[in-house]
Amino acid sequence: MWMLITTNRMSSQQELVLHASLVATGQSLVANLAAANCYKKEKHLDMEKNWMLVEKARVYYIAGFFLTVSPESVLKVAQHASANNRIFTLNLSAPFISQFYKEPLMKIMPYVDILFGNETEAATFAREQGFETEDIKEIAKKTQALPKVNSKRQRVVIFTQGSDDTIMATESEVTAFAVLDQDQEEIIDTNGAGDAFVGGFLSQLVYDKPLTECIRAGHYAASVIIRRTGCTFPEKPDFH
């Protein structure tokens, strides 16, 4: 299966692109969003040629980081998806999003069809929402049950946990999915593993594959990424 990727950029001379610093001995990330902070809705999303692309799409994915820059853009896309019964997906992205951008996050949540996050982001979200539980399955269940505008699509919540099981909550059940076995000595760089999981998941979702197959693809993509430096991938995948 092949995909054609179309990019529509907004030019700015003010900042460089995103860069990040990593501590080699642990999972500590310091991100500089840089150019992303210069985004202006009226100079990009609201332009007819760009909004036409939004109207043509049937699956949308936005990272939670964007809530720090242009929450009004996220809301516009989310509401469009809901009104037209399209699939809108969101990533919690980082614990500070749930802490310091709670208001815009919760304005978006009623429109979210699929929510992604990791165990740390899930725990922070639960504390901020007053869930009074540290059990990740319960957190996923409570998050799934939050108010939703489009009742035609019940929310799906997916929390990854590194080498531990991935948790998926639907309206009817909470399921755990084992990740692929990985030799610890093969792990080079975990930066981007969560994004790779989402990418793998969405690669199957756009082809209307079952959620279980989407998760399998997500696990595969993450397992490839962590064995390479940076969020890179081989020329040809071996996913079957």
119 and 215 part of one domain: no
Of the residues 178, 202, 223, the one at which a domain ends: 178
Take residue 36 and report the two structure tokens written for it: 């992303």
193 and 168 part of one domain: no
Distances (CA, A) of 137 to 65, 114, 178: 24, 16, 14
CATH number reported for the structural domain that contains residue 62 in this entry: 3.40.1190.20
Is residue 113 assigned to a domain? yes
Of the residues 151, 178, 205, the one at which a domain ends: 178
Is residue 86 assigned to a domain? yes
For position 233, what pLDDT does the model report?
80
Please state the domain count of the chain.
Answer: 2
Q: pLDDT tens for residues 19-75?
A: 555 555 555 666 666 667 788 899 889 999 999 999 999 999 999 999 999 999 999
Residues classed as catalytic: 195
Q: Tell me which residue range forms the domain holding 137.
A: 41-178
Low-confidence ranges of the chain (pLDDT < 50): 1
What are the phi and psi torsion angles at 182 (to 5°)?
A: -140, 125
92 and 127 part of one domain: yes
For position 134, what pLDDT does the model report?
97
59-63/164-169 β-pairing: unpaired
Of the residues 136, 162, 178, the one at which a domain ends: 178
For position 179, what pLDDT does the model report?
95
Is residue 90 assigned to a domain? yes
52 and 162 part of one domain: yes
- DSSP H helices, 57-210, are 71-83, 95-100, 102-108, 119-129, 136-144, 193-205
CA separation for the pair 231, 104 (Å, rounded): 28
